[in-house]
A and B are shown apart, each in its own frame.
Chain A
Amino acid sequence: MLCVKVKIISNKKISQKYFKIGLEAPAIAKEALPGQFIMARLNNGYEPLLRRPFSIHRVKGQGLRVKGEIEILYEVVGEGTEILSQKKYGEYLDIIGPLGKGFDYPLPLTPYPLLVAGGMGVAPLVFLAEEIKKCQSVKVSKCQTLVLIGARTENQILCEKEFKNLGYNVKIATDDGSHGFKGRVTELLEKHLRSTKHEARSTIYACGPKPMLKEVAKISFEHKIPAQISLEEYMACGIGACLGCAVETKSGYQRVCREGPVFDTKELLL
């Protein structure tokens, strides 16, 4: 974990209110694991006062042309993200990271990962998908990853291409049916689990809005397959000190920033 000022190497609008920012952060890129996040200070003044948490969306390792980068995918929803969207190439961003406990993906045991994203929830899953790909080519050849992406409407679907480029099967659900399956991504998940013969060796990895995650948890219990979900909570410190980000679990309150953000659905009281 480091607190560093890192150089902004790109900050692009993807569509509507979605942006992607690239940061030159070799030390963080080296340590980062899928599911982990950073805390970014978006203003030097007191508005907004607190840092904002963002999942690590992608990591580019040290190479000939790159120094070790991380990417953040974000949606402008308020003051802080609005300020972030206006940052320019060459400016610096004060970040702390990598933080939290990420996804656990023992591929030899569960070679059928099911990545389920709702809205902005795709952010950490792209990093996970890329890491699964790396492990897969080394350790297990039979691994088969399915990605399910849900959004309100067609132009809010994020990262479909990124997942497809990895060679994964991607299925889309939109609330209005403008692209793919009409309905919720969790219905798509149900449908898949009912038809697959690999249910027993699947693991769900999900990120998205709370109601969706609750549904994912329910499905994981009904089908008796493990599920790891990434939670969001308001955060002040992001490093486990303030106890502000508590979530109720079977063993009492736990910190989303430290014991999470990724939790096994079996541990949670949702």
Chain B
Amino acid sequence: MKTSVFLGSVRLKNPVLAASGTFGYAEEFKDLVKLDALGAILTKTITLKPCKGNPPPRIVETPSGMLNSIGLENDGVKNFIAEKLPYLKKLKTQTIVSIAGDSTEDYAELAKRLNDAGVSALELNLSCPNIKVLKSQSIKESKLISQNAKATYEVVKAVRKSTKVAIIAKLTPNVTDISLIAQAAEDAGADSVSLVNTFLAMSIDVNTRRPRLGNITGGLSGPAIKPIALRMVWETAKAVKIPVIGIGGIMAADDALEFIIAGATAVEVGTANFINPRAGIEIIDGIKDYMRKNKIKDIKELVGSLKTWQN
């Protein structure tokens, strides 16, 4: 039975990854999870300079989901390479570093430094404010990079030019047609796209009439977003030739299988890690059980195997 998949040049032993921002730098989970069994581990998003993050409260629970407004808190790439990367490198699983910046130059610089530090795959978190990305300032309407196809293209292109690492472009779902953004990433040379990041959302305490998050708005994740994320992955998988990584509310093997059948080559598990640290491992086992039961020899047979009402 074959569960390995490729994301560009990078081979993963199985298609279940830990999502950025929900798995720290892996070491936090070492007592609870057999880290080496995961397909890959995505780090918390790293920026060039240290980033303080948003004021608390930063999380609030909502029906079947949660909002977060962490705000990319991290110690910057230099400290990441010195303090976090050595541990990750010792693991017998792939480490994929998530990066973000507010200009194309930031992304390119981060990619170069991480490439030099021996990282073989990067996920570009393109759900960041689109501050200095667009060269043509005529397009000002989008607030996040991946809300704009051109800005997405420019960032991916800049990273492509500066490194040979495998590039995953991670997209925001806060758009009208996510497949158009995915195509822009593909055209610019991304090896795969991952979707979705969180949905912009908010929650209010009616007693105090204050927002429940210090940042007022935040991102919705968890089971609540799964059906929407699934639809977006399905649409995107039909629109691009590169692998699509499905993310959004994956809690158990059946959720992951839905994404794979819809066209995802791999999946990322996020919020589920908080509720059940072993969620990723249990999902891998569940996928294997499903393959055995259905006599599927290679996970590739499952990818995009959705049956329509006609067949």
Contact = CB atoms under 8 A, between A and B. Distances in A.
Nearest to A253: B53
B22 to A, nearest CB: 6
B275 A49 contact: yes
Interface string B237-280: 00000000000000100000000000000000001011111100
Q: Which of B29, B61, B251, B273 has the most CB of A within 10 A?
A: B61
A142 to B, nearest CB: 39
A2 interface: yes
A96 B277 contact: yes
B277 A50 contact: no
Main secondary structure of the interface of A (DSSP, over half): loop
B8 interface: no
Nearest to B30: A1
Given A49-B66, A96-B277, A252-B52, A244 B22 contact: no
A2 B23 CA distance: 16
A233 B56 contact: yes
Main secondary structure of the interface of B (DSSP, over half): loop
A3 B55 CA distance: 30
A47 B28 contact: no
Contacts of A242: 21-22, 24, 59, 68, 70, 274
Nearest to A236: B274
A184 interface: no
B31 A1 contact: yes
A57 interface: no
Given A46-B223, A47-B63, A51-B275, A239 B44 contact: no
Nearest to B57: A234
Contacts of B273: 237, 241
A246 B29 contact: no
Q: What 6 pairs across the A-B complex have the smallest Cβ distances?
A: A241-B24, A244-B59, A241-B28, A46-B64, A1-B31, A237-B274
